[in-house]
Every structure is written in structure tokens, then in C-alpha cells.
Amino acid sequence: MNSITQFKEFIWNFYHQNKRDFAWRNIDNPYYILVSEIMLQQTQTHRVIAKYEEFIAAFPDFENLAAAPLRDVLSVWQGLGYYRRARFLHQLAQIVVNKYGGVLPQDPKILQTFPGIGPNTAGSICAFAFNQPTIFIETNIRAVFIHSFFYNSSTAISDKELLPLIERSIDQSNPREWYYALMDYGVFLKARQVNPSRKSAHYTKQSRFEGSDRQIRAKILKIIVDTEKITHQEILDLIGKDTERVKKIISQLVAEEFIQKMNNSYFIL
């Protein structure tokens, strides 16, 4: 692109012809936005669509989510993986209810103090929930700016090089939809060519899930969620392999207070 002006015109034109529609778009309910943003961390959009609707139906607001047992929250979350996010969301709801009267703060610096929320997620929540012109970056936005401004670069591109461009191009009057437009174009690019984000200095290929500790962790949590209480040996028998790894991961889950242990049985409150 020759200029920010041309870039913005191109992105808006693309968006007006190709914009995607999701249940969490074009709404201003901060709770719905928060749920969607946490779900979309490290998870493809098509996997989030049905689970988002199910989660909102089960826990329609901060108060309902905060009051729910963690076991119920994890049960609804099943299928999305990365169970820590469900726990973070549960803790977030309790903080919002107990400390902020059920109203999500609009300050990204405050949001960054919440579990599971870093600078980029805080920025995205404020942009989408409150239409604030916050500056943040995620994988699709990164792909757009690398493709548009560093297409011929032979060196790895740092986010520090992209953030000033993001700031210069943001639509101050409608940042919410501007970010929708960037993300939609990023998805379009990644579907039709080698992911431009591979030129990023921050690019890392996601580790294989099959056979990983993450997979074992997810299996253990699913087993405990699906049973009211289960013994150590029963978990080992159900996993059926990698006994020492399973023991280590169970110990980690207890240390994190993700699961509870009483005598020789495990459960989730």
C-alpha cells in the first residue's frame, strides 16, 4: 500500500462486500463480548459459534456465571479445550460482581489486572464492547499489516513495527467495525495464501495436541467433570497409559486448585 488512506479505503471496500456475521458482533453487551473474546483465544471461530450460544444460554450474565459451580462451567465449556480459560472466565465474573457491582470496567488497564486478560485482550474487549479506539493486535490483524506494508520484507517483523501503523489507521469514529474489517480481511488472506504472520518475529507454530500433556490434562478434567467424585486409580485406569505423566498432571491440577483432593478422591467444586 502506498498510504494509510489507500489502505483504509481498500479494507473498508473489502469489508462492505465480504463481512462476516457472528452472534457476538453488532451488540454492545459487555458480558457477551467478554465471553466471546475469551473463547476466541487460541480457538478457531467455527468451533466457538455453537459453544458461545450454549454458554450464554446456560449463564446469561455475570451474576449467573459468578454464582455457578466451577464444575458446571467446565461442563458447558467441554469441546473448546484450554480449560484454564473457562476457569478465568468464572473468576472474572466473580470479580466483576463482587468488586464492580456486576458492571465490566471500561478501562483496559483495569481489565489487564483480571485473570486471563493481557493487553491485547483488554484492548479488544474495550473496542468491541465499548467502541473505544484502543490499539491491540491479534493474529488476523497481524497478517493484514504484514501483508499490506511488509510484503517484500526478508526480515522478521516485530509487533513494535506494526502497532504505530495500527494506531495511524484506526477509525476513531467506529473502531469496533474497523477491527471487524481488519479481522475479516486477515481470514481471507490466510485462506488464500501462505499465512503472512509467518513473517512475524512472534510467529510460533502451535504444538501438536495429540499425545501432548494438554491432551492428557483435558482428558483428566473431562473425566472429573463427568463424575461427581473419582479415585486416583480410576483416573489412571481410564486414561490407560502414560501413568507417570498422568500422575504428574494430576498433581499440577491439584496445586493449581483446579481440582480438589479429599482422601484418595478428586472432584471439582
- Which residues form the catalytic set? 37
Strands 260-262 and 230-231, bridge-based pairing: unpaired
In the DSSP assignment, the letter for residue 133 is -
Place of cell 444460554: 57
Residue 40 CA to residue 137 CA, distance in Å, equals 14
Q: Is 69 helix (H, G, I), strand (E, B) or coil?
A: coil
Beta-bridge partner residues of 157: 200
Residue 203 CA to residue 103 CA, distance in Å, equals 35
Q: Count CA atoms closer than 13 A to 177's CA, side-chain side.
A: 13
Residue 256 CA to residue 115 CA, distance in Å, equals 13
